[in-house]
Every structure is written in C-alpha cells, then in structure tokens.
Amino acid sequence: MRQEYEQASDMIAMLWQQGEVLDALPPELKPATRVDGYVIQSGLERYSSAPRYGWKIAATSVAGQRHIGVDGPLAGRLFAERIYRDGAVVSIAGNRMRVAEPEFAFRFGQDLPPRDEPYTVDEVMNAVANLHLTLELPDSRFADFASVGGPALIADNACAHDLVVGPPVPADWRAMTLAAHRVTASVAGKFDREGGGGNVLGDPCEALLWLANELSALGIGLRRDELVTTGACVQPLEIVEGDRIAADFGVLGQIGVTIAG
C-alpha cells in the first residue's frame, strides 16, 4: 500500500476511535478515484481484531443516494466488532447520521473468487447459503458526508458502522421474488414507512451481483461465511436515543433494535 493511502487509512481509523469528524481528508491524502478509495478502505482491516465479517452496499436506492450525495452504489467492509443480534440495545452516541435502514442480507456458503469474466446472478445466488434480515445504523467521519463525494465515502468504509443481524430466515425465500417483497418499518410511537426489495437496485439479488462484480474487478473475492447486506429497502428511518425500531418482512420474519437512552 502506498504511504499516502496508509496515512489516509490511519487518519480515518483514528477519527472513528476518537469519535471525531473532519471536513475532508488533506489534499495529498484525498482519493481521486473509486479505486483509490477502496485501497484506503482496505487499510481499515488492520484495526479489526477479527477476520472480515462481510460487506455492505451503500446507496442502492434513490433515497439512500440522496442521503449521502452520490449517484450510484458503494461497497464497504463489515467488521465483527460492530455486529449486534436481533433485539439488541445499541448506542448512537456520537452517531451523526442517526438513521436506521432495514435490509436484506445474504451469507455465502462458498467462496466466490475474483476473475476476469463478470459473474452472472445465477452463479452468485448459487454461492449463497442463507438469507438474513438486518437493520443498519450507518455513520461517517465527514462533517458534511453528503458533499465529499463517492471516492472519499468509499475510503470512509461507505458509511459502515453498526449492524443488527437476525438469524437465518427459515422460510423458502428462494421460491419468492424478493424484488416484489413488501417491507414495513416503524419507529415506535412516531411513524411507519413502507418499502420493498424493488428499492434495492431493483432487486436485492441484482445488488448482490453488483457487489460480486465490483469486488472481482478490484481483485477481491467473497469468502465463505461472509455476510453481504444489500442496502435500504425502506427510506432511512430517523432515530434518536430511546427509540424502538422494528422492521417487518412479512413471512420472512421481523427484526428490531432499541436505541440506548
């Protein structure tokens, strides 16, 4: 890794550890391209005490893209230290985004190595072992995350932060059309919202395909047991301390989280 990339990774990791933000990376450390951003992001793995847990896809819906000021999806790494079980109590102290996002996630049952030829959706889905329901609580180390641009947000791990993960879905989800599947979500006593799989690049399976090929082009493979969460299927839910968030995926199940008061 080039020295300036390593310095940028160290700076971002330090900001996360200290709960601080900055307006932008110094000009000499700022990524010029998406590839530069991914190289910087890769350096964040040095700060995790466990193997990479998986990947997230940010900005797979129009609402999500508007929220962070980009025009297409971004990939980020998931770290085991930031994973919570369904029903957990999670603090958002220091979290400036303050939203929760219901998402479909897939856990891989076999490796999907990088290659020159793009993967097909059938190849990617055949490598999947299980479907999970998740609630993401994203955040960023940039003071104005909607204005810094895609390469910088990629360097900042595509706004990955806390993720609540449910158990494997027992229903026969492969027999369903996830693109048409309806999802409702609520912040108890405040509001309810509706969405569905169609908000995730048109189909969560297509979003997963996008990630596999995005990583493959970077020379990165997906590993067995890694989880990939595919992006918000409901407009991000505004949250504050003490809120109780629930997402209902119908026959696929429910998932919830309480924000610490």
On the question of pLDDT at 65 being above 90, the answer is no
pLDDT of residue 102: 98
Q: Do β-strands 244-248 and 182-187 pair in parallel, antiparallel, or remain unpaired?
A: antiparallel
The token pair at 10 is 């160290």
Q: What is the distance between the alpha carbons of residues 248 and 176, in angstroms, rounded to a whole number?
A: 16
Other CB atoms closer than 10 Å to residue 95's CB: what's the count?
18
Q: What is the distance between the alpha carbons of residues 203 and 156, in angstroms, rounded to a whole number?
A: 26
> What's the pLDDT tens digit per position in 168-212?
999 999 999 999 999 999 999 999 999 999 999 999 999 999 999
Domain locations along the chain: 3-259
Binned at pLDDT 50, 70 and 90, residue 1 comes out as: low
pLDDT of residue 64: 81
Q: What is the distance between the alpha carbons of residues 200 and 137, in angstroms, rounded to a whole number?
A: 17
DSSP-assigned letters across all residues of 57-111: EE--SHHHHHHHT-SS-EEEEE-GGGEEETT-EE--TT-SS-EEEEEEEEEESS-
Q: What is the distance between the alpha carbons of residues 135 and 53, in angstroms, rounded to a whole number?
A: 15
Q: What is the distance between the alpha carbons of residues 133 and 84, in angstroms, rounded to a whole number?
A: 12
CATH 3.90.850.10 fits 3-259, yes or no: yes
Question: Structure pTM?
Answer: 0.96
Percent of the chain with pLDDT over 90: 92
Q: What is the distance between the alpha carbons of residues 108 and 224, in angstroms, rounded to a whole number?
A: 5
> What's the pLDDT tens digit per position in 217-241?
999 999 999 999 999 999 999 999 9
The token pair at 120 is 């097909």
Other CB atoms closer than 10 Å to residue 242's CB: what's the count?
10
Q: What is the distance between the alpha carbons of residues 47 and 110, in angstroms, rounded to a whole number?
A: 26
